[in-house]
Amino acid sequence: MTAFETLETDVLILGSGGAGLFAALHAANAGPDLSITVAVKGLLGKCGCTRMVQGGYNVALSPGDSLERHFMDTIEGGKWLNDQDLAWTLVTGARERIRELENELGCFFDRNEDGTVHQKAFAGQTFDRTVHKGDLTGIEIINRLAEQVWSRGLNRLEDHRAVELIGGGDENAIAGVLMIDMRSGGFLFVRARAVLLATGGGPTMYRYHTPSGDKTCDGMAMALRAGLALRDMEMVQFHPTGLLAGDETRMTGTVLEEGLRGFGAYLLDGGGERFMDRYDDGAERATRDIVSRAMFAEMRAGKVGPLGGLYLSMGHLDGAEVRRQFRGMVERCADCGFDLVSGRVEVVPTAHYMMGGVEFEADCKTAVPGLFAAGEDTGGVHGANRLGGNGVANSTVFGGIAGDTIGAWVNADDALHDPDKTAIEAAIDLCRMPLGQPQGDLGGDLEAVRDRLFAIMWDDVGIVRDAASLDRAAGDLTALEADLDGIGVAVGDLAYNLTWHDWMNLKNLILVSRAITAAAKARVDSRGAHYRSDFPDAGALEASAFTRVTLKDGDLETAAEPVKFTRVKPGETLLD
């Protein structure tokens, strides 16, 4: 057996985005004497999806807005597939969290002339409720959270990747997490009384995607292998306006934020004509799923620009205001040779967010005792479609709740469990499988595997799907995983061995891609981000069901579970 080191901590938090850092701070407040460790695949404060948030944070603050209105927008945007108790927790908790961000953590959000918080328009909402810091909101939030974590001296494991959740004890409660110290390539088992899964999602299995390459659905893959159920995995959100700057740059696929369309930007086809009013009364301010499908239809009809995309145009708007409100977007476009203020920017729908994830409760508990989950690793909050601005609210609201719950859990003298050593050995063997093997038929070319994964998911499990494409994808993913398993990685120095880590990244991405495909095959209707051309109708809202995917003996099993309308039923509203 490969040797590994052991570390003990009361609380282990996987991930340093909004969910992970809020959880760390709240757990520290709930248990000042607890040892709390934040583990992150990169550097704390410098990686994760929350830092990449541009647009803002949805919260009902204005006199004309209400919790009920925010809730109904969330449920209707989610096509009635949301867990309504989770959605209600989101909208109510957002009010508390935004005040905590400003008054306790020091965030500075944009203000109106009268001193009130400025809230801008985002698509799919009936009220302008998106709080922001220009178009760099995520940087503001993560910088302040990271400062607080550093100032409190909480333990950090940077450049450590989690590879397996390890159970133990009679109840198979969480015993800890097996990790790789990327600085040395050595294994580390972190024994913990409570673990939070907050690694984020990151649909980087698609040709065009917004997250950075280190986001590879590790948390969801670990959850599947640990026997946890994932819900709504077919619901992968495509952001309509991903920058299209050519295949030679990673800037392609990165988001041009939704506030641009909220401010009045137009979408144009390759001939310079607006088209969104033919698809929805909300035109460019329709929800992301509707706009992405409309763009995809225009692209398939051949109405495209020189790079194969469509255009975003703001030339008809006040240029000075565009520069003032969207400085980051203007500079990003300029770096890629586009003039956002007075020209046209070529864009393409880009995989952005996963509405699906681990089934969890409103207090962030999962089916495994001692294992908690928050943020994009979880499913149920957003249903079939996430409203822009609800993502960072989700992470921070449930991250704080997770910290509170974990603090109470550990303070109740919940004991450390002895780990299942067989599970640790199996996990190490899986990670080390490619080391020293021959390079295989593909000559060790992981980029060839990645390109095939991009093609499978974009072409067959993308914005529009059908039975034939999903069957084809299921077979192709199985074959692709077999090819990956046959690729060897030279042993050499395992310190920062990026080829080895890329192999593990692809292993996780293929597993989660299989889960997405299985859930999409199981859902024979069209809701939100999931559109099947062979089953275009939404079906009866009153009979809404969510999908559940589990992994058993290497095979994925799917089931359908009825949505519980705990607060409002289809055809009803909470509004007066």
| Secondary structure element (H or E) that encloses residue 371, with its range | strand 371-373
Q: How far apart are CA 373 and CA 14, in angstroms?
A: 10
Catalytic one among 191, 261, 293, 514? Answer: 261
DSSP string covering 251-312: TTT-B--THHHHHTPEEE-TTS-B-GGGT-TTGGGS-HHHHHHHHHHHHHTT---TTS-EEE
Q: Read off the DSSP letter of residue 250.
A: T
Catalytic one among 239, 285, 417, 501? Answer: 239
Question: Is residue 194 within 8 Å of 174, Cβ to Cβ?
Answer: yes
Question: Is residue 317 within 8 Å of 263, Cβ to Cβ?
Answer: yes
Q: How far apart are CA 183 and CA 158, in angstroms?
A: 9
- Is 261 designated active site? yes
454 HSE (CA, 13 A, CB side): 14
User: Token pair for residue 326?
Assistant: 């969207």
Neighbour tally for 495: CB within 10 Å: 12
Question: Is residue 178 within 8 Å of 167, Cβ to Cβ?
Answer: no
Q: Read off the DSSP letter of residue 118.
A: P
Nearest to 428 by CA among 180, 216, 120, 119: 180
Question: Is residue 259 within 8 Å of 122, Cβ to Cβ?
Answer: yes
Nearest to 304 by CA among 265, 350, 273, 282: 273
Instruction: Give SS3 for 454.
Output: helix
Estimate to the nearest angstrom the gap between the alpha carbon of 565 and the chain centroid.
25
Q: How far apart are CA 242 and CA 167, in angstroms?
A: 40
Instruction: Give SS3 for 51.
Output: helix
Angle CA(405)–CA(410)–CA(412) in degrees, nearest 5? 100
> Which residues partner with 556 through β-bridges?
551
- Is 183 designated active site? no
Q: How far apart are CA 378 and CA 366, in angstroms?
A: 10
Q: How far apart are CA 433 and CA 563, in angstroms?
A: 41
> Which residues partner with 283 through β-bridges?
none
Q: How far apart are CA 48 and CA 210, in angstroms?
A: 12
Place of tokens 């990165």: 254
Q: How far apart are CA 291 and CA 405, in angstroms?
A: 38
Which phi and psi (to 5°) does residue 465 adopt? -135, 165
Positions marked active-site? 239, 261
